[in-house]
Amino acid sequence: MLLVVAAILYSSVHVFGVAGSPAVPVHQAVSDAPPVTVSLVSAVRRAEVLPQRSTAVELSAPVEGVPESSTDLSSCGAVDGTALAATTSGDIRASACLSQLADVEPAVLGRFARSFDSDDSSAVTFATALGERGSATATSVWWHDLTAARQTELVADLPSVVGNLEGVPYDTRDLANRLTLSSTVAHLRGEVDAQGSGFLGASADSRRLVMLQQVEIALDRGREGDDAKRSLLSLDTVFPGKAAVAVGDVDTADNVTMMVPGMLYTVSNQITWWTDRAADLHSAQDFWSSTLATDATASAATNATIAWMGYRTPDLTNVLGLSLAEAGAVHLEDAVQGLTAARAGSEPHVTLIAHSYGSTTASIALTSGKIHVDSFVALGSPGSVVAKAGDLAVTRGQVYAAAAALDPVAGSGFFGADPGSTLYGATLLDVAGGTDPFTEQSLSAVLTHNRYFTPGSQSMRNLALIGTGHGDLAEGRQPIPGGPQPTDQPTLALVRPQDVNRESLGA
């Protein structure tokens, strides 16, 4: 049985179409990747923009037990300003550590930054620990209480930390992560040139270089015809890497949609494809925001979509277990908490759209008690860890599912309840194509596992409407209180092959 399920999952990606294109050779990617703007790098160089540094920055609210003029970073696991194993393993006191980072002398801050190894994920681990052992809300308050000089110093000295620190404004994180990306790519290019190696797989450095060049390409504004700004919200430069790229302004958008991928999605092979799908969705959302705007709204709602690849997705060797979904759920919770904290006082409409194994990951996150979202869509889901939509931390009536007719993963129920069944209580979206009732445009059908984000499809139309807060206009079968009610005239739009026997039996 396990082998059969693995084969089905594998075929869903490779028979019906691989999501994304393989990474290009290093020598080709070097010439194709967009260069990092020099002004971006120079903008935070000390010699050019840093104001005169003082020996201490006054805290607005000192943490109990921490002196107002700290000269060390002991709460960050450091000794004499040098990061040690405790720092890089996350064995820290988050609140006190943040206070010391705000107050420590510039020379000590610089020494602390230099003690991180640029070839491992220690800085990202440290940033994650600050969030997990503290809170994104506390981090947001801390960041806004810093002086502009200290904020600039932290971005310049610790870009890998600031760029992955939930609660920090996204434009600042984008700046920090681009600095990390630029410096790491430059370093790896030098290493690869010195090795005389030109193709992926020739060395660990070349694999990392290709991976990060794919991130550079994903950040290229205007891809897919969507000219909205693109931002790098998180980045782990160590292979196989993690990243999140936003299309639109996450700091100000009225609607924010986070897309969670499933099996076999890696930064090297899918970050550009996943970001392009986020751009397609962003364009569709802008279209509907403009179309549905009325005199009462004054202007069309603004949108941002996030191609989130913040966890390790499974391959054929480990797809049959939940361990990666459980680990990914923790990272997803952090990301949603970070959005909530960064946008406190101007909260957007938040939607999670999760594909395949990612939908199981999202179902775990949405039952943790730590986050809540306005809408949730499970695409081609192999199962939810809870039996009913009402058990998810989602606004009532705003849970949706989509299952294409030839999608062998959807409806398998391998990891739990099928979100597309009538018993689950979600709206089953129509993805079979047809004519849009508002625009009278022809909508294409989605038939297979990796086509839910196809531009011009009924699926994309529904996803865009849900993400803009208009889920009531999405076409599909509404949840039926009290259990399944088989229809007299079923259609392929709403009844999947795997449901025929199940629905007739009242399962």
Question: What does the pLDDT look like over 132-174, one tens digit per residue?
Answer: 899 999 999 999 999 999 999 999 999 999 999 999 999 999 9
pLDDT the model gives residue 90: 84
Res 392: pLDDT: 98
- The predicted structure's pLDDT at residue 33: 38
pLDDT value of position 295: 59
For position 311, what pLDDT does the model report?
A: 97
pLDDT number for residue 57 = 31
Q: What is the pLDDT of residue 481?
A: 58
Contact 350, 339 (CB under 8 A): yes
Q: How far are the Cα atoms of 7, 16, 260, 381, 486 from residue 4, in angstroms, in the given order?
A: 5, 17, 25, 17, 29
Please state the length of the chain. 507
Percentage above 70 pLDDT, the chain: 79
- In the predicted structure, residue 37 carries a pLDDT above the cut 60: no
Section 195-200 average pLDDT: 61
Handedness of CA 382, 388, 394, 400 (dihedral sign): positive
Average pLDDT over residues 164-191: 97
Q: How confident is the model at residue 17 (pLDDT cuts 50, 70, 90)?
A: very low
For residues 1 and 462, which has the higher predicted lDDT (pLDDT)?
Answer: 462
pLDDT (mean) for 265-283: 97
Average pLDDT rounded to a whole number, residues 248-274: 97
d(CA 57, CA 147): 7
Query: 431 burial class (0-12, 13-18, 19+ CB within 10 angstroms)?
Result: buried
Give the pLDDT confidence score for residue 120 in this predicted structure: 87
pLDDT-derived band at 299 (thresholds 50, 70, 90) equals: confident
* Whole-number pLDDT of residue 165: 97
Give residue 119's pLDDT band: very low, low, confident or very high (50, 70, 90).
confident
Q: Output the average pLDDT for the chain.
A: 84
Residue 491 has pLDDT above 90, yes or no: no
- Hey, what CATH class is 225-504 in? alpha beta
CA distance 379 to 360: 10
**6 confidence band (pLDDT: 50, 70, 90):** low
Choice between 85 and 119, residue whose per-residue pLDDT is larger: 85
In the prediction, which pLDDT does 116 show? Answer: 92
The residues facing 78 across adjacent strands are 83
Query: What are the C-alpha distances in Å from 416 to residues 380, 396, 425, 447?
Result: 13, 21, 14, 23
Listed by start position, the domains of the chain span: 55-168, 225-504
Residue 202 has pLDDT above 70, yes or no: no
* Greater pLDDT, 43 or 291: 291
